[in-house]
Amino acid sequence: MLYSEKVMDHFMNPRNVGKIEDADGIGEVGNAKCGDIMKIYIKVENNIITDVKFNTFGCGSAIASSSMATELIKGKTVDRALELTNKAVAEALDGLPAHKLHCSVLAEEAIKAAIEDYRAKKSCA
């Protein structure tokens, strides 16, 4: 089987899909090669990520990676969320095929972009 049960589960029943209207940070990234796009919204209170949602226009592995990544950062501090690597996302999914690892990179990048956006907005406030 090419994909683990966890990948299939997060692809078929993705967690945290959607948009946060009054998000504190939004990160949007894309992969120029495959054309996939991922957008992550975060809500932050007292430095804790209290809510996170995503919209991914992309392959099944990208959807599963965004779903898992949002689960992994929910309730964490902003600094802990910044430490999340694509490797940790892939491991939490019980692995991704080698040629699909780049899909988990999108999730790491989208989270980092959302946090950067949050920090940039906060420093102007």
Task: Using CB under 6 A, list all residues that contact ligand FES.
Answer: 31, 34, 36, 58-59, 61-62, 103, 106
The CB-of-29 to ligand FES minimum distance in angstroms stands at 10
Beta bridge partners of 57: 37
Surface-to-core class of residue 39, CB atoms within 10 Å of its CB (0-12 exposed, 13-18 middle, 19+ buried): buried
Question: For this structure, is 59 an active site residue?
Answer: no
Given the residues 12, 13, 34, 116, the one annotated as active site: 34
Question: For this structure, is 103 an active site residue?
Answer: yes
Phi, psi of 2 (to 5 degrees): -70, -40
* E strands, 9-89, in order: 25-30, 37-45, 48-57
Q: Which is nearer to ligand FES, 12 or 34 (CB)?
A: 34
Given the residues 62, 81, 103, 106, the one annotated as active site: 103
The CB-of-35 to ligand FES minimum distance in angstroms stands at 7
Contact 80, 6 (CB under 8 A): no
Known catalytic residues?
34, 103
